[in-house]
Every structure is written in C-alpha cells, then in structure tokens.
Amino acid sequence: LGFVPRGRQRTPKLDKLTKEIQLNMKNSAPGPTFEQDREAVRVRLQDIVTRCNSFPSGTELHVFGSSKNGFGAPNSDLDMCLAVPEGSDIGDPAQVMGRLAEDLEREGMLEVSARLTARIPIVMFTDGLTKIECDISLQNPLAVHNTGLLATYAGCDVRVREIAYAVKRWVKAREINSPSDGTLSSYGYVLMLIHYLQRTPGSPVVPNLQSIAASWSGEPSKVYEGEREAKLRYVQHPTEPNSRVNCYYYKPKGEKERGRLKDLSMRNRESSGNLLAGFFHYYGFEFDFRKHVVSLSPQMLEKDLMGEVHCWPCHLGLTIQDPFETFYNVGHVVKLWQFHRIRREFARAYTVLTEGGGLDMLCEKPEEV
C-alpha cells in the first residue's frame, strides 16, 4: 500500500470518483418534500399520543436520526421519541409504552411490537398510511440534540453530505453497519467522518461547532464576533437523573450565518473524491486506535487520560466519544474481532480508490468466508 503524502495534488482518477460520489448522493438522497412528509406522519402520531390517556398533557413527540440529520434516504426509518413535561410522573415506563403500543395498533398502525425492558423502552411499527417504518422511544432528548448537531455539520458544506452518503453505502455494502452483529452504527461512522473533516490537512472542512459556541460564552472568536446569542443548553440525562449534559453547539440562524460557515469550509478546496480517500487513509493507516479516542473535541483525546469515570482504557478497540454524553462510548457495541475487520475495510477502501476503482468496486459485496 503506497503512502500518499498529505496535501497531494488532485489526480484525474479522483476527479472521476468525485463525480461518482456526487451522482451517488443524487441517487440516494431523498426529495425536497422528505422532511415535510415525515413531519406529517409525526403530526398524526402526535395526535394519537395526545388523545390517548397514557401521557400527561404537554407530552411532545420529536423526530431524530436520519429523517432529520441530513443523511437520510427515502427508505430510512422514522425515529421518534416522547418528551414528557419536566416534573411529571408517568409511572412505570414499560407499562405506559405498552399502552401506547395498544393505542397505535387500534389507530391502524401495522406490525406493532415493543421492547419494553430496554434501557430506553421502544415501540416499533409501520405507519398504516405511508408504510414508513417507525419507532417511538421514551425520553431521549440527547438524540434530538445530537441530530441537530449532525444536521448543522451536514449544512456546513455539500461535501460533508456527499462523502457521508458514500460512506453509508460502503458500510452497508461491506456489512460493517450492524450494531447487533458487533459492528458500528451509522451514527458512529458519521462521528468518525466529522472528526476527520475537522482535521483535514491545510484547512478543516468543518469547524468545531461545539467550541465555537463555547468561545462565545467566554472570549468571542474573531470570525463570529458580534453573534453571541448562542445559549448554553442543559438537558437532563435520561437514565441518570442527577447528571446534566451540556448540549451546546453553534446553530446558524439565517442565510448570512450559514454563509459564514460555508465560507470557512471553502478554505479547504479538496474534492470529495480526495477527501473520501483521505478519510479511508486516516482510519486505515494514520489513526492510533490503541491510544486515541475518536471525538469531536478540539483536542486529540488519549484513552489513558480519560480518567476512571470514563471507561476508555479498558477498550483495546474502537472508542468514539459521544459529542454530548462525553462519558459514553458510541463504539462500545463493536466487538474486537469486528473492529479488526472494520480497520481492514478502511485500508482496503483506500487501496481500491487509489488504484482507480470507483464506488461500485468500493461497495462490492464481501466474498463469503
């Protein structure tokens, strides 16, 4: 495997790859009414939740995940969670979610099933009208916030989404995107991508949205001077009532603010093809998984220095720090032998692309072993 120096010239080969990456997003991304259509489903379900007597008044249904984070596909499932008003007692979560499942069935939802004893109880079903696969969990505010964070990164530059769609196609095709089989969630791969795009040679493709906001509360950064309305937002942790989580990130409000983020990204002129190859090289050959944590923190975090509360040192393999729940390892689902497979897949992907193979070859089904 040849080493490609950082900041290399763009090659015609990777220009062709860039076109393929752009076409792939065009073919995979949903149409312009995607979010509205899903909002209509949410509104119908909100109505069911409100009419049924299982939850206190003021209980809200929120959408999170790929229906809203900028990386969704027409066939993505619709992830939702219920937010009950602070201070209200709903009783036994398993019981209320069980009642919700019955209500949903009565209201025409199909294939209703539930996992009531999970850390976060969840009801799964297919919407009778649109046939979209849905799931509703209870109290998952952090997922709503991390979806907003990912959506803001997705909006920084079109290349973020282009590369993410290629990566999502690759992980699904190579069968390394299934937490129940010991590989990594899409959420984990998107965090890995953002970590890399924050560290691209020369200029980062995306800034650190959480530290922009942090600098506003203390010393405003030069770039964002005068725009200090970001609010420090704390959210109650769903399973640890005494801990509060800082869910602070820079969320641009109008076109002007969005434009500023885009201008920052444009300082990096690499093509999506080169960035995708760079991403594979970074995790295939450069990143020291034994020593470092994949994180959206501005510093490179070392596992040994994470302290006892963080369970990082015991992980030999992949550790990915959640951007808000900083003590939570998103990679905890990854089994060690699967992690080695994933690393080999990164190395293979880099080789395929730099030897002129396109997206189709990158996303070939793995050979049976």
| Nearest distance in Å: CB 189, ligand CTP | 8
Interacting positions 18-77 with ligand CTP (CB under 6 A):
64-66, 69, 71, 76-77
Q: For residues 232 and 220, what is the distance between their CA atoms, to the nearest angstrom?
A: 14
For residues 17 and 171, which CB has a smaller minimum distance to ligand CTP in the complex? 171
Of 57 and 180, which has the nearer Cβ to ligand CTP? Answer: 180
Residues 179-198 that bind ligand CTP (CB under 6 A): 185-187
Tell me if 65 contacts Mg ion by CB under 5 A: yes
Alpha carbon distances (Å) from 55 to 46, 108, 235, 238, 337? 11, 20, 20, 17, 43
| Number of CB atoms found within 10 A of residue 43's CB | 10
Query: Are the C-beta atoms of 283 and 347 separated by less than 8 Å?
Result: no
Question: DSSP assignment of 240-260, as one string?
Answer: -TT-EEE-------SHHHHHH
Burial (0-12, 13-18, 19+ Cβ within 10 Å), 126: middle
Within 13 A of 290's CA, how many CA atoms are on the CB side?
2
Residue 294, SS3 per DSSP: strand
Least separation in angstroms between residue 188's CB and Mg ion is 12
Q: What is the nearest approach in angstroms of Mg ion to the Cβ of residue 142?
A: 15
Choice between 18 and 147, CB closer to ligand CTP: 147
Helices (H), the chain: 12-28, 34-51, 93-106, 141-154, 158-173, 186-197, 209-217, 255-266, 272-281, 336-354, 359-362
Q: Which stretch binds Mg ion (CB under 5 A): 17-25, 61-69, 118-126, 232-240?
A: 61-69
Q: Which of 137, 146, 321, 338 is the binder for ligand CTP (CB under 6 A)? A: 146
Q: Does 147 bind ligand CTP (CB under 6 A)?
A: yes
DSSP type of residue 320: B
Query: How far is residue 290 CA from its own chain's centroid?
Result: 23
Q: Pick between residue 13 and residue 115 the one whose CB is nearest to ligand CTP.
A: 115
Our CB check for ligand CTP shows the closer of 186 and 198 to be 186
Of 167, 205, 166, the residue nearest 188 (C-alpha):
167
From ligand CTP, Mg ion, none, which one binds at residue 146 (CB under 5 to 8 Å depending on kind)? Answer: ligand CTP
Of the residues 97, 104, 143, 209, which one makes contact with ligand CTP according to CB under 6 A: 143
Binder to ligand CTP among 79, 103, 127, 162 (CB under 6 A)? 79
Neighbours of 161 (CB within 10 A): 20
- For residue 71, the partner it binds in ligand CTP, Mg ion, none, with Cβ less than 5 to 8 A by kind, is ligand CTP
Nearest CB to Mg ion, comparing residues 171 and 353 = 171
215 binds, among ligand CTP, Mg ion, none (CB under 5 to 8 A by kind): none
278 binds, among ligand CTP, Mg ion, none (CB under 5 to 8 A by kind): none
Nearest approach in angstroms of CB 4 to ligand CTP is 29
- Residues engaged in binding Mg ion (CB under 5 A): 65-66
- Residues engaged in binding ligand CTP (CB under 6 A): 64-66, 69, 71, 76-77, 79, 143, 146-147, 185-187, 330
